[in-house]
Structure 1
Amino acid sequence: MILAVDVGNTRIKAAVFEGDILVNNFVFVRKELQKNIQNILKKYKKIADLIVSSVGDVEKQLFLEFENDLKVHFISHEDPFPFVNCYSTPKTLGIDRMVLAAGATIQFPNQNRLVIDAGTCVTFDFIDENNNYLGGAITPGLRLRYESLHDYTAKLPLLTLDNPKGLIGKSTSESIHSGVVNGLVYEIDGFIDEYSARYSNFIIILTGGDTDFLAKRLKNTIFANSNFLLESLSQTFQYKNQK
């Protein structure tokens, strides 16, 4: 069994895999990392490998403390990936984006893929049908948009995610919800429309913490899977082992 752990900017996500099957998944905050991993290992005693991808600042030593119980692996830029990295600054490409690109390449062969990860930031990553990673885009996610409106203005309140009551906000709060939510939805649909106009044989994969909230609002047909990063992390590790 494999325990895959993704350290994001806000939360830590983990999943237990038996082969390609996701057995269980977990979400927790950083201060609970060690306690939660200990609890997972106690419940699933057959876990032999801990695979970590991280864009956060959690120290590796926190994971290495489990080396007496299992093998610990950190996905890095030096690992083999199933695509050609055509990014002009390949060492700056986030490991999470590389893992997502790997999963898209493995799961959806011989087609153009756009992976949209809707978390703290929303990232767009494009891998063509010849398995060339070409790049993408990064934009603020829903939470960052709410926070920035509050942090960089004098009087706008800090709101939490909610459904807009309509296109036209009839109060300051309604206007913020409309601007933040509808603005990001229109932005994502605009990106998808532009990619779709340029490329055929095309699939769009939506993942990340805001997947369920955004998926039903997008006009385009997408493959929505909030666990796609964790699944991709397991597949990237298996690909690495095969090489």
Structure 2
Amino acid sequence: MLLAVDIGNTKIKAAVFEGSALLEKFIFSHEDALNGVKIILKKFPKATQSIMSVVGKEDNNLLLWLQGNTKLTAVNHTLQFPFTNKYATPATLGIDRMVLAAGAVLQHPDKPRLVIDAGTCVTYDFTDAENQYLGGAISPGLQLRYNAMHNFTAKLPLLYPEMPQSYIGNSTKASMHSGVVNGLLHEVEGFIAQYNQEYQDVTVILTGGDADFLAKRLKNTIFANSNFLLESLNLLYLYTNHK
């Protein structure tokens, strides 16, 4: 069994896998990281292997504990990935983006893929049919957009994601919801259209904390999977350890 741990900007997500099957998923705060992982391994004592990727702040206590209690694969830029990295500044490419690209390559071979991760930020990561990672884009996520309007204006309230009833907002709150949600939806649709113009039959994968929220309104054919990063960690582990 494998324990996959994703240390994100706002939360820590973990899952236990047996082969390709996800047995159970867990979400906890950074403060509860070490205790949360101990509880998971008490429930799944056969999870003697682990893999961890870090986007948020490094947790040295968790790292040391996993090294001492499991056989840990720490994902970093030196790990072998199933794609050729064509990013102009490969050392600055986020580990989470590399993991998502690896999962897309391994799960959808021989075709171009666009992974859209709608989390704190929205990241777009593209690999072509020749398994070359070409890059993508980064933009503010839903809550960041709400926060920015509240923090950098005098009177706009702090709101949280809510699906607008109409694209024409008839109040300040309705206008903000329309601007944030419809704005991001148009952004996503626009990026998908651009990639489909240049590449044929692009497989689009939508993941992240806001994936399910956005997927209901997207017109394009996509694979919505909020667990894709954890599944990609599992696929990357299988790739690096069983080649």
Band the TM-score falls in, shorter-chain normalisation: over 0.9
Secondary structure in 1 matching 2:67: coil
Residue type of the alignment partner of 1:241: N
CA distance in 2, matches of 1:216, 1:33: 32
- 1:83 matched to which residue of 2? 83
- 1:72 matched to which residue of 2? 72
Residue 11 (structure 2) pairs with residue 11 (structure 1): yes
CA distance in 1, matches of 2:147, 2:39: 33
Residue type of the alignment partner of 1:184: L
Query: Which whole-Å deviations, capped at 9, do the CAs of 1:153-194 have from their partners, x for residues lacking one?
Result: 111000011111211111111110010000000000000011
CA distance in 1, matches of 2:65, 2:83: 32
CA distance in 2, matches of 1:110, 1:34: 39
CA distance in 1, matches of 2:68, 2:86: 38
CA distance in 1, matches of 2:59, 2:11: 15
Normalising by structure 2, what TM-score?
0.98
- 1:59 matched to which residue of 2? 59
Query: Which whole-Å deviations, capped at 9, do the CAs of 1:191-241 have from their partners, x for residues lacking one?
Result: 001111111032101010101000011110101111010000011112111
- 2:196 matched to which residue of 1? 196
CA distance in 2, matches of 1:152, 1:74: 38
List structure 1 segments (4+ residues) > 3 angstroms apart after TM superposition. Answer: none
Check whether the contact 2:112–2:201 (CA below 8 A) recurs between aligned residues.
Answer: yes
Residue type of the alignment partner of 2:221: T
- 2:225 matched to which residue of 1? 225
CA distance in 2, matches of 1:62, 1:219: 41
How big is the shift at 1:58? 2.9
CA distance in 2, matches of 1:242, 1:126: 25
- 2:23 matched to which residue of 1? 23
CA distance in 1, matches of 2:96, 2:67: 23
CA distance in 2, matches of 1:65, 1:180: 41
Give 1:147-166 correspondences, 5 Å limit.
Answer: 147-166=147-166
CA distance in 2, matches of 1:60, 1:91: 21
- 2:128 matched to which residue of 1? 128
Check whether the contact 1:15–1:25 (CA below 8 A) recurs between aligned residues.
Answer: yes
CA distance in 2, matches of 1:50, 1:111: 29
| CA RMSD after TM alignment | 1.0
Query: Which whole-Å deviations, capped at 9, do the CAs of 1:8-37 have from their partners, x for residues lacking one?
Result: 111111000001110000111101111111
Runs (5+) with no aligned partner, structure 1: none
Secondary structure in 1 matching 2:51: strand
Normalising by structure 1, what TM-score?
0.98
- 2:38 matched to which residue of 1? 38
Check whether the contact 1:5–1:51 (CA below 8 A) recurs between aligned residues.
Answer: yes
Residue type of the alignment partner of 1:238: L
CA distance in 2, matches of 1:238, 1:92: 25
Check whether the contact 1:64–1:72 (CA below 8 A) recurs between aligned residues.
Answer: no
Q: Percent identity?
A: 58
- 1:239 matched to which residue of 2? 239
Runs (5+) with no aligned partner, structure 2: none
